[in-house]
Structures are given as structure tokens and as C-alpha cells.
Chain A
Amino acid sequence: MATFALPFCEIPEDLQLRILSFLSPAEISCFACTSKRFASLCQEDGKIWHVMCDQRWGKKTKIQKWGNGQIPYRLLYKTLKGLENLIGFWRLCGRANPAASSPPLVFFDWGPSFVLGSRVLSTGDDTYQVKKTPFLLLGISSEGRTENFLDLVGGNLRSVDDDLKELEASDNLVSVDVNFMGNGHIMVEENRCFINNNLREEQKSSGDESDDLISSPDFSEMYTQLANKTSPGGDRRRQKRKEKERQASRTKWEPEHFLKVADCSPTPTKPLQGLWKGFCEGSMELYLVKYDEVGGIICRKVEDLSLSRYTPPVFWTPKHAFIRSPFSAEEELLLNSRIHISHLAEVHENVVSGILYIKSSYDLVLPGEAANGLGFLRGEGRVWLYENGTFGFGFLRDQFVIDMKRVALEDGCLADEIEASM
């Protein structure tokens, strides 16, 4: 350790802050105790917390625009630290709302001054194009309040200004809370207090005296009864109020749970891992391939998780070791005689680098098979891993190969919705 270290004080402040920006808040807390000068440096929200936000998220989002540029950076740090756990793919677990507003696969990404959740769906045509339509926006108000908006019908979150105020007024958007339950689990539920607060705001400004007592729709009946006795002229106002309350008390969105898709990308040792898209029975579907702890692989269609317990997997295998080339003549024949199912315009050129035996259902393994492995050698189907990292799969019962492509965060095919054709 150097004894003649250049005093930290001698380098310019912006470089000092730059160094500090790599530290966690707890570590900066410690550094701030070293001397009066550094205590004061670390007290300036616009300096220390700004560089901390900038270092972590400056390239991903416009940190000066959050909260309309009016919230302290210390609050922004805390907000972004929480929100960054959302980034990535999430799957619905148990559908409680109509399918149109409740997507099985969701993708959260950074916006300029908010985090945006989008539904991920196939475009329904013959291409590999995947459609991404914004449906949930998480932001913060100028006053520092978390504000999250859910789009019930689609198309209302397309272009959002930095000031989220206009979203508050929209009828098509529902104010929601996004609760982090830990372990890659979130719950999205309608924010009832938001509605009641807004309602109260409106009532206050309309000058009704009896309104301050109304705290929830349940009591409104009681108080209106009382109000009836004392203010005869309030009938019309009361009816309007009741109507609004009835509307507000109607739940527009049932709470829903989402689980994070961990491991949504392949790795060198797990080349099939992650989210894929391929054509099944004429339409493009999304698939998720997972490796389990005992060396097996399961491929499932992406759908509501609570349903997947009952649906059989698309394919599975207990051992994920690939057979490498050179392949036997039989295997070559098996592949070469097949028709590839992929996008119409594409020419299939992929060279196979590995073959895997797969099964398509949870059939009982016959007593002889497991022991000598012979039954499984025949297998029910194959996965052909291509040199470019994608793969195709097919079964002995038919003559097709379904070619899969990756669904990735940087996927060029994650196209925005063209029109509100939802």
C-alpha cells in the first residue's frame, strides 16, 4: 500500500464524484464520514446522487426527465434501484382479466422517464415478427409519488410526455400498484386509493360541504341519507356523486401475478435455453425452453403459467447432452427427408452441429427402456442444433422440422404495433 498516495483532495471535484459514483450508498455513507469537506460533498443531492444515478442508468434512461426533473436524485436512485428488477421478460400466472388486456408474456424495458411493460405477441401473419404493445407504464410524479398506469384497451401509452399528468386524466388507463413480492414475483393490482383521492379532490373543489365525511363508497349511502335530511337542494349533486362513486368502485382490473422469466437466453453450455419463436399449426407461437437441475430440458409454449400444469410440454428430454458430428447415415437421412417449417421467404441453410433425442409427452417409461437406454435411443423426436445457434425440432411421426428463432431483448423482430389492431 502506497504511503505517499496523492491526496484525493487534489483531483478535480468532478473526477472525485466520478470515482464515488461506483460506490453503493452504504459505502458513500462511510466515505462521507472521513472529513468535513467530503461530508459536505456527499450532502449535495445534485452532485453525489446525480452521478450515482448517471453511472448506473445514465445510458439506459434520461435521468433528468424522471418526475419532470423535479424530484431529488436521492429519491430517483431508490426508485430506479427498485424498478431495474423489472427489466426483462415476465410470464402471467393465473389470468383474472379478459385475455385482450391480460398478456401471457410481458417485456419490461426502460423508457425516457419511465419503465414500460409491453405485451409480447406474434403478429399473426406468416412472418417471425413479434409484436410488442405497451400496456403498463411505471413512473413518478413531480411530487415524488409513484404513478403506474395500465392500459385496458391498448393504444393509450404510445407517446407519453415526460409529465405524467395527462395520463392521470385518461379514462382508458387504470392506476395500479406494482408490488414486488420477492423472488422474481410481482403483483399488479388496481390502486383504489388513487381513485378515491382523485374523487375527493374533485368534490372538494366543487364546494360540497357534506363531502368531507365520505371516505369510501360503502359509507356514502349512509351519509347521503343524513345529508338528505339537512340540505334539500343537494339532490342533483348527490346523484352525480353517487354515479361517480359507482363507477369508481367498479373494479376495472383484477389483481394479477407475474413471474420473471429467468434464463431467457442461451449460454454456451445451455444452447437451447430461453425464449424462442416458431410456427406451430400455421401460426407463430412463443416457446420457453428450460434446463432443470437434474440435467433435463423441457420446452413449453408460453402461456398462462397456471394452465401449464395441465398442458403437456412441446418436447422434453432427461439428458441434455448433444450428439456431435459426424452423424450416422440414419440420422442424416432422418433430417434430410424433412420439410422445414419456417418463414416462407427463408431459405434453410443451417448446418447441424448437434442432435438431441426428445420425447413429446410424459409417457411412462417402460421398465426395459430406462435400464438399457435402447428404447430412448430410438426416441420419439429430435432437436437439431444449428451452427448459428438456433435449432429445429421434429418428431418421427411426421416429416417436419419446426425451425426456431430467438426472442431476445435486442431482437430486431420485436416490432412495435403498427396500428391499434388489437
Chain B
Amino acid sequence: MSSSKKSSDGKSSEIEEAVASLTMPFNKILLTSSDGESFEIDEAVARKFQIIAHMIEDDCAGKAIPIDNVTGDILSKIIEYAKKHVVEPDEDEDEEAKKKLDSWDAKFVEKLDLETIFKIILAANYLNFEGLLGFASQTVADYIKDKTPEEVREIFNIENDFTPEEEEAIRKENAWTFNG
């Protein structure tokens, strides 16, 4: 992060400022989705996607980067999240900011259906966006919490291939493995 140093007489050196602006991240990066949608974002936001951060480091990022595996609707959601999370507030330093951000996150996923969240997981995995991947995974896990196996099957379209006897046996076995 840039900070202008004050010289002893209190004036910021013009030369120092000029140097700072050269190294400051003014760059914009253009991302293109698989279905042709384009998104122009700040470099700082783009760096949240490790795969792009590496490209920038290796200097092989031109101004436009194609994201072949992700459609425009999903990419736009991911960018929306990334923009909000460019700077992660420290829980100890700024409790207030953390709470506000958590609240925004909650509203963000509330509007999304499970299919979209799965797509976000796949895309975040591809882009190597750790923060969103963790958050989205936690969100799906929350769907599973406090549900019976039958309810979980329904949500995730899982086919029950157990016979009733097998199901009972596996239930007992798992109860021992996971609760013992």
C-alpha cells in the first residue's frame, strides 16, 4: 500500500509522489467470459484470483484475459464478491467492518439458488479464489446441516441405492464411526 512520506519540513516531495504513481496499481484488467461477456476490473480485484495474479506476475497478462470455463452470469457474481473483499478486515482490529461484511455476504448468497452456488464453487476453484471457494463451500455445508439423509437426498438429487437392510446397517456403522 502506498503512503507518502513527509520530509522534515512537512511537504510531500513531488518526485516521491511521481514515483509512487508509477508503481501504484492503476491498471485495469479485462476478463472475458466463455459466452463473450466482458468485465473491466481493477488489478487489485483481479489479483484475488490467484490464477490471474500469477499471470500478472509472469507478465503474460495482456489487457484482456479469456476465462473459458466460466459463463458471464457466474463471472459477474464472482467479481461482485471479489470487489467487496479486496481488503479483508481484521477481526480483532475492526470488528465493526467485519460484521458489516459478514452481513453483506449473507445477503449475497441468500439470493442465489443451489445450482448457482455449485457453479460458483467450480469457477472459484478454477480461478483459484480461495476466499470465495471457502465461503461458498460453507454455504453448501449449511444446507446439509440438521437435515435427515432423506432431506439431503432431495436437495442434492442423490439416488438412494441402499436396500432398507443395508441402509439400517450403514446408519449404525456411521453412527459408531462418527459419534464414537
List residues of chain A with CB under 8 Å of any chain B CB: 1-2, 4-9, 11-12, 15, 18-23, 25-39, 42-43, 74, 268, 410
Contacts and interface: CB of A to CB of B under 8 A. Distances in A.
Interface of B: 92, 95, 113-115, 118-119, 121-122, 125, 133, 137-138, 140-142, 144-149, 152-153, 155-162, 166-167, 170-171, 174-175, 177-179
Nearest to A27: B145
A20 B140 CA distance: 9
A274 to B, nearest CB: 12
Given A7-B157, A38-B158, A19 B137 contact: yes
Contacts of B148: 30
Which DSSP category, helix, strand, loop or mixed, fits chain B's interface?
A: helix
Contact of A32 (B115, B155, B178): B178
Contact of A25 (B95, B115, B178): B178
B176 to A, nearest CB: 9
A15 B144 CA distance: 15
Contacts of B113: 2, 5
A82 to B, nearest CB: 14
Given A1-B155, A11-B118, 7 more contacts: A15-B125, A29-B177, A32-B170, A33-B162, A33-B171, A34-B149, A36-B162
A268 B174 CA distance: 45
A15 B121 contact: yes
Given A32-B170, A33-B170, A8 B133 contact: no
B162 to A, nearest CB: 7
| Max chain A Cβ within 10 angstroms of own Cβ: one of B157, B162, B171 | B157
Contact of A30 (B149, B158, B161): B149
A268 B137 CA distance: 32
Nearest to A408: B92
Nearest to B117: A6
B131 to A, nearest CB: 13
B155 A7 contact: no
Contacts of B138: 22
